[in-house]
Amino acid sequence: MATNIKRRNFLKNSLLAAGGIILVPNFISCSSDTDKLSFPIPSNLTEKNFEQGVASFDPTNSQVIIWTRYTTESSSVKLTWQLAKDADFKDLVRQGEVNTDASRDFTVAIEIKDLAENLKLYYRFVNVSEGTTSPVGETLTFGASTTQVKLAVASCANYASGYFNAYEAIQKSDADVVVHLGDYIYEYGENTYGSLRKPEPSGEIISIDDYRTRYRQYRSDKKLKELHQMKPFICVWDDHEVTNDTYKDGAENHQTNEGDFEIRKQVALQVYSEYLPNTTNIADNSIIYRSLQIGNLLDLIMLDTRVVGRDKQLSYADYTSASGFDAVGFQQAWLDPSRTLLGSAQKNWLKNEMAKSSSTWQIIGQQVLMGKMLIPAELLSLFGTPALQTTLAELVVIKSRLLQGDPTVTAAEKARVTTVLPYNLDAWDGYYVEREEILATFEGKKVVVLAGDTHNAWQSDLKTGAGVKD
């Protein structure tokens, strides 16, 4: 409590410089329960200038983040924020004042700590001098005795590809919180990856203004804005918040004529922190992995399998030539124990979190499939060719006969369906050794691993290479 009082209304001014671009983390600490400051609110408020609405993030048993953005032509703006137990703000829990400006695109994120557990909460932001108010948002804290929590899991929402009907369905559901596993935005330009709606700006986003414009467009969507207003989010990024198939020092969709990748990455993560704040290291926007306790029921462990530590993805094309596929060279690279998806710091952190977790469940929220997805090796050379469908049909028949115990299946036929390779090297399948290491930490725990990225629904039983089920 004393630490929180000391930090009251303190702007975190730590700067992260990359390539001449100054990146300002987006957190402002709040007052404590003992603070009796009064901020009179006019009675004749008009709801305007909060065009991206309000949102809340990372609820736990004792804290939550509330967020908004103000539209203004001024160089800076002062907002009053209020958190209450009722929608009329008669029973106030906490309130304060905060300044914001163009350095964070006029967004505000208030991390409110030391709250009572098991609360339904309402919040708003007010510009007293202009007589304007935000919509009233709803959020919560969990209780230590929580026996049930309903998570809505979302990922891969491309504005250009369609309308956000899934967000509307979640908003109308009885989900307590939305766990967003990344690809919250897509970086592509107009008519590149979807043509139903026009993205803003029209081109691929590269600069800090580009990324901010794209987030403002997404957050102005009625269905997404209403969902944020009604339910708290817990988020991690995937690749499209930066650019397609990102790894720690590059990406498939970053070309040399688009400037320095590190600058682009840091710009993208800065804007992410402005619009999707989270309870991580506020001095370093690149650190998003964290653990949130929900009652004594579960630890929600959020990982970054994309940006902070990932080695470049393997590609079968790099091991294929006119003379065929270099299976030995591929296997050496694939089984290289030094290859990492998490990076050493995050991997050690995850092991420690798993070891110390005493909650009933451990839910891991992360980006890419952890389950194995293996396909017959002969299919790899056939993708995009007319022979694919014919060969696939043949293999399906052989596999069916094998599963039915058909004694007439020949050794050559059996080899065709049992000689397999991982299909998706961009997922955990491409980082075999590290996955084995992580699966070993699941022993004796009730673990559920969530994943997004693939634009499909999958369910897998996680097993080690030795076939041990975790």
pTM for the structure as a whole: 0.91
Domains (range + CATH), the chain: 2-288 (2.60.40.380), 289-373+424-470 (3.30.750)
State the pLDDT at residue 5: 27
Q: Return averaged pLDDT per consecutive 10 residues of the chain, 470 residues in all.
A: 30 28 42 57 94 97 96 96 96 94 95 94 97 98 92 98 97 98 98 96 98 98 98 98 97 97 97 93 84 94 97 94 89 96 98 96 98 91 90 96 97 95 95 97 96 94 77
Strands (E), 12-116: 16-18, 21-23, 28-29, 46-47, 54-57, 64-69, 76-84, 92-101, 107-112
SS3 (DSSP) at 262: helix
State the pLDDT at residue 12: 30
State the pLDDT at residue 26: 46
Q: DSSP letter at 293?
A: E
State the pLDDT at residue 469: 64
What's the rounded Cα separation, in Å, for the pair 246 and 307? 7
State the pLDDT at residue 25: 41
State the pLDDT at residue 407: 96
Q: Contact 144/119 with Cβ under 8 angstroms?
A: no
Q: Contact 9/97 with Cβ under 8 angstroms?
A: yes
Of 437, 216, 431, nearest to 306 by C-alpha is: 431
Residue 324, CA distances (Å) to 380, 390, 418 in order: 12, 21, 19
Beta bridge partners, 369, equal none
State the pLDDT at residue 281: 58
Q: Contact 39/308 with Cβ under 8 angstroms?
A: no
Query: Which helix (H) or strand (E) covers residue 247, if one does?
Result: strand 246-247
DSSP H helices, 130-253, are 165-172, 208-220, 222-230
Output the six-digit token pair for 288. Answer: 């998003």
Output the six-digit token pair for 390. Answer: 């014919």
Q: Pairing between strand 374-376 and 46-47? A: unpaired
SS3 (DSSP) at 438: helix
Q: Pairing between strand 107-112 and 28-29? A: parallel
Output the six-digit token pair for 74. Answer: 């001024």
State the pLDDT at residue 208: 98
DSSP H helices, 357-430, are 387-403, 411-418
